[in-house]
Amino acid sequence: EGERFTLADIPGIIEGASQGKGLGLEFLRHIARTRVLLYVLDVAEEPLKTFRTLRKEIEAYDPALLRRPSLIALNKVDLLTPKEVEERVAELAQEGLPVLPVSALTGEGLATLKEALLSLVKATPAPELPRPAPRVLVEAGVEVVPLEEGVYEVRSPALERYLSRLKGDLSEAAGYLQEVF
């Protein structure tokens, strides 16, 4: 009681995220700053398949992240019978991580989950965060157009999507892009 820690909810990790699909790389970069990983899996949406997809994408991004202490929270267990919950927990436990059945709706298992997370966070030192070199994904359709001596225009659907999300003064973003490219 009275102890605190911060959780980062990282949605959007889909198949292909480690190759830049969706907002996957953006979310994967946030995972690198965490001490502990909690996989919250929806019992109604093929939790084992979802878990394996998440692990595959994290491994493709940075295999070292898979060595972080981790838990699985199997959510929405209120939709299943106790026997079905037991079967799903046993199936996921074969992946080698503790599995905690929970229901965000009813509150079932949440106190146990909080205790387990707090214990892991306390026992795990904060990760060292070296400044990684920027990763550049070259996507099909990138076009480099020479405008004059030493000046080029880079046309890329991915870059255009990225820039369209930025607002306000773009000078900082331009400086970052010059470093990357």
Cα separation, 173 vs 42, whole angstroms: 37
**Among candidate residues 95, 123, 151, the one where a domain is terminated:** 123
Whether residue 74 is found in the same domain as residue 157? no
Average pLDDT per run of 10 along the chain, which is 181 residues long? 69 54 57 84 91 86 88 95 95 96 96 94 79 53 79 78 70 65 57
pLDDT given at position 24: 53
Residue 128 inside a domain? The answer is: no
Whether residue 69 is found in the same domain as residue 152? no
Tell the burial category of 101 from Cβ atoms under 10 Å away from its Cβ (0-12, 13-18, 19+).
Answer: buried
pLDDT given at position 92: 95
- Note whether 152 and 146 are within 8 A (CB): yes
Domain count, the chain: 2
pLDDT given at position 177: 64
Whether residue 28 is found in the same domain as residue 78? yes
Residue 12 inside a domain? The answer is: no
Whether residue 116 is found in the same domain as residue 48? yes
* CATH code for the domain in which residue 59 is found: 3.40.50.300
Whether residue 24 is found in the same domain as residue 62? yes
Residue 132 inside a domain? The answer is: no
The SS3 call for residue 82 is: helix
Whether residue 105 is found in the same domain as residue 44? yes
Q: Which two tokens stand for residue 110?
A: 């949440």
Residue 72 inside a domain? The answer is: yes
Non-local CB neighbours of 118 within 8 Å, separated by 6+ positions = 3, 5
**Among candidate residues 123, 152, 168, the one where a domain is terminated:** 123
Other CB atoms within 10 Å distance of the CB of residue 17:
23
Whether residue 65 is found in the same domain as residue 150? no
Residue 135 inside a domain? The answer is: no
* Domain hosting residue 38, numbered range: 17-123
Whether residue 117 is found in the same domain as residue 162? no
Residue 31 inside a domain? The answer is: yes
Indicate the DSSP class of residue 104. T
Residue 11 inside a domain? The answer is: no
Other CB atoms within 10 Å distance of the CB of residue 156:
17
Residue 49 inside a domain? The answer is: yes
pLDDT in tens, 108-157: 999 999 999 999 999 988 777 655 544 545 556 777 778 888 787 878 87
